[in-house]
């Protein structure tokens, strides 16, 4: 019994730590989808690119994943803005709002982008690669707390807090929120909708790629280009829907929920992470039935 309690507490702590990093990768999607109204099917591929960014910074610069976060974030910002001007600008220019047709355009164009990225990645990187970084662990009672996961969790929550501050406390951030609600009305405020959409999408990609760097700490078998996109994109969508699209702290609530269900759940499911992940995804059904606006009000 004491053994089980120790196991349970360990999984509880690990679940919360994992939840934080899942939250931050989903947060990137939350911004792109909930705020900029772009359905980014290539989300998983940008998480993967963020992870590779961290890998190359480690390989050539000796950076640990935490140090590569700001660099990945900067690259993500540029990539996101490039994506907006390359793929979406012509479709969205002059539109009064993101109608269904425009959302479908984003869906199809990001799906195409996802295929391109994943196939190039698989042809370049045939084997999973990993980052060797183990800052150790602290023993808290019966529970070992890995410092790597702890640091990553702190940075993840800080990133979410930063985006929330930006969106609620600055003129540009509020303009992005207003853009989501009524595009012509933002123009009447003197807000250039092109700038606001580009910054919003850039910010989403920025967080996504930074999240990819943070995720590497949780990839013990290394970065596998055949798996990252397929696994983490759907989880991100589930987290965003759980927390409520467009709600910044919804990402954290959804991420912690999924992290806990996966880690604590596998304890009761014979140690099967796959089964626990399936259960985590299934939580979508009751949420969509009873609280379609997400856990957060």
Partner 1 sequence: MLRLEGITAGYEGTRVLRDIGLEAKEGMATVLIGPNGAGKSTTLKVINGLLHPTGGRVVFQGNDITKIPAHERAARGIASCPEGRRLFPLLTAEGNLRLGAYSPRGRAAAEETLASVYDLFPRLRERANVKAGRLSGGEQQMVAIGRALMSKPTILVLDEPSLGIAPKLVSEIFEKIQQLRKGGLTVLMVEQNAYQALRIADFGYVMQEGRIVMDGPPDRLLDLEDLRKAYFAIP
Kindly list the residues in this chain that would bind partner 1 in the complex (CB under 8 A): 171, 174-175, 177-178, 181-182, 184-193
Residue 22 or residue 191: which is nearer to partner 1 going by CB?
Answer: 191
Q: How far is the CB of 195 from partner 1 (least distance, A)?
A: 9
* Spatial separation of the C-alpha atoms in residues 49 and 73, rounded to whole Å: 11
Q: How far is the CB of 191 from partner 1 (least distance, A)?
A: 5
Residue 122 or residue 181: which is nearer to partner 1 going by CB?
Answer: 181
**Which H or E element spans position 146?**
strand 143-146
Residue 178 or residue 267: which is nearer to partner 1 going by CB?
Answer: 178
Q: How far is the CB of 90 from partner 1 (least distance, A)?
A: 16
Residue 127 or residue 297: which is nearer to partner 1 going by CB?
Answer: 297
Buried/exposed 138-156: b ≥16 CB within 10 Å, e otherwise: eeeeebebbebbbbbbebb
Residue 186 or residue 251: which is nearer to partner 1 going by CB?
Answer: 186
Residue 177 or residue 227: which is nearer to partner 1 going by CB?
Answer: 177
Q: How many residues does the chain have?
A: 297
Q: How far is the CB of 170 from partner 1 (least distance, A)?
A: 11
Residue 249: CB atoms within 10 Å:
18
Q: How far is the CB of 100 from partner 1 (least distance, A)?
A: 18
Contacts of 290 (CB under 8 A, 6+ apart): none
Tokens 């609600």, residue? 181
Between the alpha carbon of residue 29 and those of residues 40, 50, 170, the distances in Å are: 7, 14, 21
Q: Is 55 exposed, middle or buried (0-12, 13-18, 19+ CB in 10 A)?
A: buried
The torsion angles phi and psi of 145, rounded to 5 degrees, stand at -110, 110
Q: How far is the CB of 175 from partner 1 (least distance, A)?
A: 6
**Coil/strand/helix, residue 189:** coil
Q: How far is the CB of 172 from partner 1 (least distance, A)?
A: 9
* Spatial separation of the C-alpha atoms in residues 261 and 6, rounded to whole Å: 17
Q: How far is the CB of 30 from partner 1 (least distance, A)?
A: 15
Q: What is the DSSP letter of 217?
A: G
Residue 178 or residue 296: which is nearer to partner 1 going by CB?
Answer: 178
Nearest to 163 by CA among 296, 297, 18, 35: 35
Whether residue 240 contacts residue 233, with contact meaning beta carbons closer than 8 Å, is answered with no
Q: Which tokens sit at 267? A: 């304890």
Residue 175 or residue 210: which is nearer to partner 1 going by CB?
Answer: 175
Whether residue 233 contacts residue 41, with contact meaning beta carbons closer than 8 Å, is answered with yes
């Amino acid at each position: 019994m004491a053994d089980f309690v120790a196991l349970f507490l360990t999984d509880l702590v690990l679940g919360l730590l994992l939840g934080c990093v899942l939250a931050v990768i989903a947060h990137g999607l939350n911004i792109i989808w909930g705020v900029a109204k772009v359905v980014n099917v290539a989300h998983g591929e940008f998480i993967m690119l963020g992870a590779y960014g961290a890998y190359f910074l480690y390989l050539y610069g000796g950076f640990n994943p935490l140090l590569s976060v700001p660099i990945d974030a900067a690259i993500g910002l540029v990539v996101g803005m490039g994506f907006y001007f390359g793929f979406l600008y012509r479709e969205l220019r002059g539109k009064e709002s993101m109608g269904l047709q425009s959302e479908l355009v984003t869906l199809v164009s990001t799906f195409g982008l996802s295929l391109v990225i994943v196939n190039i990645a698989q042809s370049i990187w045939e084997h999973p690669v990993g980052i060797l970084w183990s800052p150790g662990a602290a023993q808290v009672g019966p529970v070992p707390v890995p410092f790597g996961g702890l640091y990553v969790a702190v940075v993840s929550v800080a990133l979410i807090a930063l985006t929330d501050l930006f969106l609620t406390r600055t003129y540009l951030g509020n303009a992005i929120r207003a853009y989501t609600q009524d595009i012509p009305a933002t123009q009447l405020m003197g807000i250039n909708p092109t700038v606001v959409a580009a910054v919003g999408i850039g910010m989403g990609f920025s967080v996504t790629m930074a999240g990819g760097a943070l995720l590497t700490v949780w990839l013990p078998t290394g970065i596998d280009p055949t798996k990252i996109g397929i696994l983490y994109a759907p989880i991100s969508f589930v987290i965003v829907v759980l927390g409520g699209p467009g709600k910044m702290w919804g990402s954290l609530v959804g991420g912690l929920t999924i992290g806990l269900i996966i880690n604590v759940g596998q304890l009761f499911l014979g140690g099967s992470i796959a089964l626990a992940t399936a259960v985590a995804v299934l939580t979508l059904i009751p949420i969509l039935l009873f609280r379609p606006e997400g856990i957060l009000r």
